[in-house]
A = this chain, B = another copy of it.
Amino acid sequence: MNHKIHDVGVAKQIGTYSDAIEVAPDMRWLYTAGTPGLAADGTVPADITGQAEIAWQHIMAMLKKADMGVHDLVKITQYLLNANDIPAYAKVRSRYLGDARPASMLMIVPGLVWPNMLVEIEAVAAKR
């Protein structure tokens, strides 16, 4: 990670993220919108794995446009419609994050902006 990690023993019991991330002054910041698995051609895959894959590709593309990468991530927030989708979602996320460990939040919500969306991801990243 390109930021300072402050762990207190919670995250390590739940997943591969950090309890808290400290960001130094004088950084550029990137805030993404809530990002669903909506492809460039307007399609949304029917399953969580397909949607998570496209959503993470979008997050990677936004980081790259800001000349940032996964180790610049400070915080990710993940909105899922179904708790049963957590394991499949987490598998996709791991593939994109590698050993990066942003602070994370995952919650179940009853609905997102379109009824067919199963997941949205938000990211906050910072880099000098």
Contacts and interface: CB of A to CB of B under 8 A. Distances in A.
B20 A65 contact: yes
B104 A31 contact: no
A22 interface: yes
A28 B34 contact: no
Nearest to A112: B107
Interface string A16-46: 0111111111111111111110101010000
A37 B11 CA distance: 12
A13 to B, nearest CB: 6
A interface secondary structure, majority = mixed
A3 to B, nearest CB: 9
Number of chain copies forming the complex: 3
Interface residues of A, number: 61
B22 A106 contact: no
B17 A33 contact: yes
A57 to B, nearest CB: 9
B112 A108 contact: yes
A32 B65 contact: no
Nearest to A82: B111
Contacts of A111: 83, 107-108
